[in-house]
Amino acid sequence: MTNFLRFIALNLLLILAAATHADAATWYVKATGQHDGNGSKARPFHSLEAAEAASGAGDTIYILQSDKHAILDGQIVLKPDQKLIGLGPDVTNVPENAAGARMTYSGGGGFGYPEGAVVQLSTNNEISNIHFKDFLFGGIVAIDVDFSGANIHDNLFTGGDIVEGFQRWSVDLESSSGNSVVTFRDNVVRDGVVLGGILAVQGEDSSGTYHIEGNHFENIGFNAHALFTSDTASLHADILDSSANNIGALGEFSDFANADSIYLQLSQASTMDVVVDGYTYDNTDQVGGVSNTGLELFLPGEGLQPPERWANSAEATLKINNSSFGNAVTEAIQLLNTGVDSVIDVEITNTTVFDANPRQAAAVLGLDGGAIAVLPNFFFSSGNQTSVMIENSDIIGSTGYGVAVYDVGATGFSATLDMGGGDLASIGQNRVLGNAVGDVALLESNGIGRFNWWGGDPPVINIIGGGAFDTVPELLADPRP
């Protein structure tokens, strides 16, 4: 093709794109709309299904606010480039029953996808300022469709009693092909016994990039964030400037909840790269069971998950910075690599972990756990490597140890702990103090922890079954008095 023809073709594409944008329509829906509404603002549709039938790709669908007793009950499958926007006040900052754009789906005769989803995504959809309430399966869902470009922001997700069914996700995104790029920001997920936050699943040879920022999760029964990879898929996520409290609030079953605030799981030969920055976790009501952590990174293996979920040559990278994990009902940050030939690489910097109540190591090994814990590989695991670097962080007030590394894999001594002066380039400057059982415990593991403040007393280090941990030189004054 000549340059002239390329020029003509490019201009035709631009003209067509402009025409498509110019033809985009605006539609209105209201829970109390007239049955003969035409989708105008004066005569809005009364149902999402009517808006779906009338609208085309690139259109904007506005949900008009209704009085406090009205809710739009139905489903919609969005077309490419459509926007679904709630009008009225900011739904994340008004009382539960204030006037607003509220949606649910209570019918369909089932909880599965797509029957139970309120909104089903396609490409480049934007959804904002909508209160998703008491839905039966999922608020915003896309499974094995192209949902790349999703921009989900400033929404509220609430409700869900245990008598109404099982776990429901506010956002459920699952892909087995292509590259998904998703934004999930400034949303609130709260007050749902069987409610979870955002679920992202990448399988086969797919990849996903998730920008998760400014969200708040509180008083929900299931995970705030759950990220899964399998096969050879890859996932990158930035979890930024967000907060969570009382995750695992399963009502009368809260003592059995296993609902980590951030849960990361890799299977087969997949890869995951996650950055957690500016995250605040708390558990003021002490809900949850022995594995209800602030953050868990898990590579499953034999004996713990079905064979199709075992990690084999999986690789996980996790960076936690400028964050706080307080009052965990068990280990606050838990790392578990039970696969084969798999790698976990973790950096924890400028982070505070306080008042953890570790219990899972006791349940598994009969040993006291740590606020930050590497749990055992088990004897049938082999070829794994787990490295943990901690610097400029505070680990305070654990009812067990501050840090515990229990490495009992078939190859032994495959975990590396660098809290200062080691091969992982930690500068130390950690404050480790007030931990009831001790400061550091190592089981068949080696570590190093120089240039740290241990509260002015000699650190309490427990070496079990071999290993070593060097603390000299120690800081002579508190680096953050």
At 330-355, the pLDDT tens digits run: 999 999 998 889 999 999 999 999 99
Question: What band does 106 get if pLDDT is binned at 50, 70 and 90?
Answer: confident
pLDDT at 307 over 90: no
Q: Report, as an integer, the average pLDDT of 150-170.
A: 87
Q: What is the mean pLDDT of residues 169-193?
A: 97
For residue 408, pLDDT beyond 80: no
Contact 256, 293 (CB under 8 A): no
Average pLDDT over residues 54-70: 90
Q: Quick one: pLDDT band at residue 131, thresholds 50, 70, 90? A: very high
pLDDT of residue 309: 85
pTM of the full structure: 0.93
Please answer whether residues 135 and 163 qualify as being in contact, where contact means their C-beta atoms are separated by less than 8 angstroms.
Answer: no
For residue 20, the one-letter residue type is T
Given pLDDT bands bounded at 50, 70 and 90, which one contains residue 15? Answer: very low
Confidence of residue 2 (pLDDT cuts 50, 70, 90): low
